[in-house]
Amino acid sequence: MSQAKKKAFALRVDPGLHAAVERLAAQELRSVNAELEVLLREALARRGVKVEPAGAPRRGRPPKAGKE
C-alpha cells in the first residue's frame, strides 16, 4: 500500500481568519493544516462534492532498504 502524497501550496488568508482556524484546531487537537482539510471537506460535502479520502498514512519505522 503506497502512501498518498499531499499537494503543498501557499495560502494567503486574513490574520483574523487564521487566528479563528488556529483556535478551532487547538480545541479539536489538530494542526491548522488538518483543520483546514476538515473544513474544506465539510464545505465540499455541503455542496454535494464527494472527495474520496486518501489511504491512512503508514505508521512505524520505514522498511529497511530492499525490503517492504
Question: Residue 42 is placed in which grid cell?
Answer: 465539510
Rg (CA), the chain: 16
Q: What span, in angstroms and rounded, lies between the C-alpha atoms of 55 and 52?
A: 9
Whether 64 is in a domain gets the answer no
**63 domain-assigned:** no
Number of domain units in the chain: 1
d(CA 54, CA 5): 9
Task: With CA atoms as reference, report the closest residue to 25 among 15, 10, 13, 39.
Answer: 39
> For residue 67, is pLDDT > 70?
no
Q: How many Å apart are CA 50 and CA 38, to the nearest integer?
A: 13
Residue 40, domain extent: 15-46
Could you report the per-residue pLDDT of 20-40, keeping only the tens digit for each? 999 999 999 999 999 999 999
Whether residue 59 is contained in a domain is answered as no
Share of the chain above pLDDT 70, in %: 85
Structural domain contains residue 52: no
Query: Which of 58 and 27 is assigned the larger pLDDT?
Result: 27
Confidence of residue 52 (pLDDT cuts 50, 70, 90): confident
Note the pLDDT of residue 68: 55
Residue 30 lies in a domain: yes
